[in-house]
Structure 1
Amino acid sequence: MPEVSVIVPVYGVEKYIDKCIKSIIDQSFKSWELILIDDGSPDQSGAICDKYAEKDQRIKVIHSENNGVSHARNIGLDNAKGRYVVFVDSDDWVDPSYLQNLIERSSADDTVVYGNVINDYSDQRNSVVSFSYEDGQNINLDNDVDLIVKYRLPENGFPIAKLFSREIIEQYKLRFDETLSYHEDHLFVLNYLRYVKSVRLSDSPDYHYEHRNGVSSLSKRRHPADKLINASEKLLTAIEQGNNRWKIVDKRYLARLYTFLGLNQLMLALKNATAENICSVGIAMRRYKSLFKNYYTPNHRVYRVIPIFISLYGEYLMKPILQWKEKRS
């Protein structure tokens, strides 16, 4: 049995998948399996994956209809055999020490390892390391609230650059929420944290997150209001469940957390609302009226007024305006 299952969802990356796969083959740690899930790629990505599988028995390719990254990752989890699970995105790559550094810092199945990430840019900007971690630092999720805040652990929702226990994933039936198209990865990580005792940090930035000009990004897509409401409610629930354990009382950090994970999604839902669903957005925003009042910290002051306007049933004033705009378009 392999020690680590490396799961890579693949879609439309024929220019980059070679580098990704080669970087995993070149790992100094050798006890791994690589599961490549071709999510109905319209290009040659799937065929490239098949060629590698023919040469290396540790590589398995699963071809699927296009159902999105969460579905692809879940297929990977359903087929994983390793003690640990690691996720890599198909247009990124990792240094040869990537798996070794994660494994060396793992002490038990109830400890999740947070690795570091280096951001590489295609426009000649210098690479930037994401996190300032103290290597080997162990953070108890029941007692070390100051360290949880210092390292902003709840904000790090990357499934990449982490070492997960497959036993915990299977025991608690953890999967990516396929009803979400926004922050579904963050929700998976938050749910996983409920079942581990501690987080151990690695400061080695050996995961290369590639930022490419002209490449479409999920964060830049227009998400429907109903999807954003769904994401907001699930994220806010996960934060509440987590903080029942973490006991974070730092209001400045809670404001950052609630704004980033929940309230911003509702504001984006308002921005993307149509005449048909604007009232649903208003109902959702009023449900979290106290969170908006106590914790919402937007980048621009004027945005603080918008939730107050909606709390006065302002969406009913907006509905005819949206209807007029939709008729004109």
Structure 2
Amino acid sequence: MLVNQDTKISVIVPIYNVEKYVEECIHSILGQTYKNLEIILIDDGSTDSSGILCEQLEKKDARVILIRTTNKGVSAARNIGIKKASGKFILFVDSDDYLLKNSIENMAASSREVDLVVGAIIYRNDYKVFKRNQFFLNNQLKDETTEVMLIEEYLHCMSKNMTDPYFGAPYCKLFKASIIKDNGIYFEEGVAFAEDFCFNLKYLQYAERIGKVDLPVYVYRKNLCGSLSRVKYDYHYMTNRWKHLCHEYGKLYMKHSIEDCYEHVVKRAYRYVLNSLVGRERIERQEKILREFASVNLCLNCKENHKILNKEFSLLRSVKLWLLFYNLKCISENTLRIFYRIIQKSVYTLRKG
């Protein structure tokens, strides 16, 4: 494929203690068939050899710019990269992931007269188990042959797959730098959940046309260490983050007058919060957290907001058998969660019927 390479693309890579993977990541960018790149590496206070490896790569290729900073987190590192970027488009790459050889060329080929380009993802782990995300190849869009879609169509798909990295993650996407900078769109710093989703939602408020690449452009390496699982789950914090995420979704969907999609989002967010509580909190505590979630004006004065969530509360009332399980010490949390999900599935099946 021959693509005009006059347009500079800035690739932003936040780096923190990834000496095992960082060279593979950066070499995958340097080896792209699309050459007009500005590669911005932000070493976020690494304590391993990541910074030294980046220094060596900077000396070998003039396109590489290395910025060192104290450890402030991935969002702050990405924001530093945004401010430094001079390209027309911006691509985010995580330092333990990598690109396929023609990824940027394929995305650049779809970038004409669109505000965002999205490509497919390949998932892998250190045991080289691959799984391809083929969202656009699985009949989830009305017209699979369409290379460009309007924002409304994209948002309809997004509402049904709100936690899919294809929509929420900043990688696998080519952003217009002018939209980001002219509207002051940056990643939220100091938060531990949904900062990347919120960035995308803010960006989409200014996008009208989305280009899609039905080919893998990004290889995502799943974290096998389970570091997140070792962090104590703060239900109050996570519930507040879900509220904030729904608020951002609400602004976007109300702007385009597609309230039905927003209803999907609110219901799904509610269920994620509810699922996270089952077997981990007392019934009274669950009710309190869920009431707090429902009390927020998620839909920006939408009168249907409480009606939507009150319907969902009927599920909580339908499983009072939970109380029996709480009184039986031999029943594990996993058993309780499985029990709940069986009931949940049955209730929603009956509703659809």
- TM-score interval w.r.t. the shorter chain? 0.7 to 0.9
Q: 2:310 aligns with which of 265, 269, 293?
A: 293
Root-mean-square deviation (Å): 3.3
CA distance 1:262–1:172, change in 2 (3 Å): farther
Question: Which letter maps to 2:201?
Answer: L
* Secondary structure in 1 matching 2:14: strand
Q: Does 1:77 align with 2:82?
A: yes
Residue by residue, what CA displacement relative to the aligned partner does 1:100-148 show, whole Å, maximum 9, x if unpaired? 111110123x521111111113345343324234465222125x4xx64
Structure 2 residue aligned with 1:129? 133
* Secondary structure in 1 matching 2:193: coil
CA distance 1:236–1:2, change in 2 (3 Å): same
Residues 232 and 263 of structure 1 are in contact (CA less than 8 Å); yes or no, is this contact kept in structure 2?
no
Listed as ranges, the gaps of 5+ residues in structure 1 are 310-329
* Secondary structure in 2 matching 1:116: strand
Residues 259 and 295 of structure 1 are in contact (CA less than 8 Å); yes or no, is this contact kept in structure 2?
yes
Residue by residue, what CA displacement relative to the aligned partner does 1:273-323 show, whole Å, maximum 9, x if unpaired? 89xx999846622415544334589xxx669759xx9xxxxxxxxxxxxxx
Distance 1:72 1:168 in 2: 19
CA distance 1:115–1:18, change in 2 (3 Å): same
Distance 1:14 1:26 in 2: 19
Q: 1:284 aligns with which of 279, 292, 306?
A: 292
Structure 2 residue aligned with 1:195? 206
Q: 2:150 aligns with which of 130, 136, 140?
A: 140
Q: Percent same amino acid among aligned pairs?
A: 29
Residues 134 and 214 of structure 2 are in contact (CA less than 8 Å); yes or no, is this contact kept in structure 1?
no
* Secondary structure in 2 matching 1:285: helix
Q: 1:158 aligns with which of 169, 173, 193?
A: 169
* Secondary structure in 1 matching 2:10: strand
Residues 117 and 131 of structure 1 are in contact (CA less than 8 Å); yes or no, is this contact kept in structure 2?
no
Structure 2 residue aligned with 1:64? 69
Structure 2 residue aligned with 1:119? 123
Distance 2:272 2:173 in 1: 25
Q: Does 1:22 align with 2:23?
A: no
Residues 154 and 190 of structure 1 are in contact (CA less than 8 Å); yes or no, is this contact kept in structure 2?
no
Distance 1:23 1:40 in 2: 23
* Secondary structure in 1 matching 2:216: coil
Structure 2 residue aligned with 1:149? 156
Distance 1:61 1:2 in 2: 22
CA distance 1:243–1:220, change in 2 (3 Å): farther
Question: Which letter maps to 1:292?
Answer: L
CA distance 1:225–1:14, change in 2 (3 Å): same
Residue by residue, what CA displacement relative to the aligned partner does 1:168-193 show, whole Å, maximum 9, x if unpaired? 10110000011421011001001100
CA distance 1:3–1:262, change in 2 (3 Å): farther
Listed as ranges, the gaps of 5+ residues in structure 2 are 1-5, 138-143, 297-305, 324-353
Distance 1:105 1:296 in 2: 44
CA distance 1:266–1:203, change in 2 (3 Å): same
CA distance 1:122–1:165, change in 2 (3 Å): same
Structure 1 residue aligned with 2:10? 5
Distance 1:11 1:4 in 2: 23
Instruction: Judge which range, 122-131 or 23-32, deviates more.
Output: 122-131
TM-score of the two chains, using structure 2 as the length reference: 0.72
Residues 44 and 71 of structure 2 are in contact (CA less than 8 Å); yes or no, is this contact kept in structure 1?
yes
CA distance 1:226–1:50, change in 2 (3 Å): farther
Structure 2 residue aligned with 1:242? 252
Structure 1 residue aligned with 2:56? 51
- Equivalenced residue count is 295
Structure 2 residue aligned with 1:213? 224
Residues 120 and 127 of structure 1 are in contact (CA less than 8 Å); yes or no, is this contact kept in structure 2?
yes
CA distance 1:126–1:169, change in 2 (3 Å): closer
Distance 1:72 1:37 in 2: 6
User: Post-superposition shift, 1:28?
Assistant: 0.4
